[in-house]
């Protein structure tokens, strides 16, 4: 298990031997916080929560240059890839995954901000156990590097979860956890830029 980060904490994406990580996977997950309702025949049905994970790629001037989300599964340079949309958040582990080849990112990109939005406008008071985690995809076993568990809920429909930033050629991960509102990643350009 990786390092557990609190809101605002950051971590350099370097190995113990000083080498930089080359490929990481950002896993995002959540559960429904709504109580299960009794069905017609006595069974229980949980409320499904459909959240969408996205990555917004920024330059050093805080200008959004590219977006990876459910309708565009790969960045223009192919370095950031979305594994596909999970419509319910059901199951254990990562609900949506965004893979990043740090060695292939365009030199123009200095920040990648990871956001979660509710296209159906469900609010985060219906969400429980939301988290994001960084996994080292460049080695066998794919060990978890860090995890950030979201502790806030509320009437917002989106969240700026975390970011990767390149400083002097080294990528750093930072837990953000800032509430926002929006249906898609495009609606969060301003909130994501404010987190840089």
Name, in order, each residue with C-beta under 8 angstroms of 99's C-beta and a sequence gap of 6 or more. Answer: 23, 24, 25, 26, 80, 81, 83, 137
Q: Is the pLDDT of residue 45 over 70?
A: no
Q: Which region among 13-22, 49-58, 84-93, 143-152 has the lowest average model confidence (pLDDT)?
A: 84-93
Are 174 and 162 within 8 A, CB to CB?
A: yes
Residue 91 above 70 pLDDT?
Answer: no
Q: What pTM, to 2 d.p., does this model score? A: 0.89
Name the CATH superfamily housing domain 3-33+45-184: sav2460 like domains (2.60.60.30)
For the cut 60, the answer to whether the pLDDT of residue 44 exceeds it is no
Q: How far apart are CA 176 and CA 4, in angstroms?
A: 13
Task: Give the separation between CA 136 and CA 147, rounded to whole angstroms.
Answer: 12
Token output for 41 = 């025949």
Top pLDDT among 40 and 158 is at: 158
Contact 119, 11 (CB under 8 A): no
What whole-number percentage of the chain has pLDDT above 70? 88
Does the pLDDT at position 36 exceed 60? Answer: no
Asked if 185 and 41 touch (Cβ cutoff 8 Å), the reply is: no
Instruction: Give the strand pairing for 144-149 and 3-5.
Output: parallel
- Between 22 and 50, the higher pLDDT residue: 22
Q: What is the pLDDT of residue 92?
A: 58
> Which DSSP string do the residues of 60-108 spell out, in sequence order?
TTS-EEEEEBTTB-B-TTSSEEE----SS--SSS-SEEEEEEGGGS-TT
């Amino acid at each position: 298990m990786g390092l557990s980060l609190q809101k605002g904490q950051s971590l350099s994406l370097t190995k113990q031997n000083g080498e930089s990580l080359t490929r990481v996977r950002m896993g995002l997950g959540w559960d429904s916080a709504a109580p299960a309702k009794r069905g017609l025949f006595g069974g229980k049905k949980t409320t499904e929560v459909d959240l969408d994970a996205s990555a917004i790629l920024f330059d050093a001037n805080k200008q959004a240059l590219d977006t990876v989300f459910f309708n565009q599964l790969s960045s223009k340079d192919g370095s950031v890839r979305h594994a596909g949309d999970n419509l319910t958040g059901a199951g254990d582990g990562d609900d949506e995954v965004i893979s990043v080849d740090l060695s292939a990112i365009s030199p123009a990109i200095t920040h990648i901000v990871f956001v979660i939005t509710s296209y159906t406008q469900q609010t985060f008071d219906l969400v429980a156990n939301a988290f994001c985690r960084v996994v080292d995809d460049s080695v066998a076993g794919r060990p978890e590097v860090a995890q950030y568990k979201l502790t806030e809920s509320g009437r917002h429909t989106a969240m700026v979860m975390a970011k990767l930033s390149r400083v002097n050629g080294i990528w750093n991960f930072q837990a953000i956890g800032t509430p926002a509102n929006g249906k898609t990643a495009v609606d969060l350009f301003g909130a994501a830029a404010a987190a840089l």
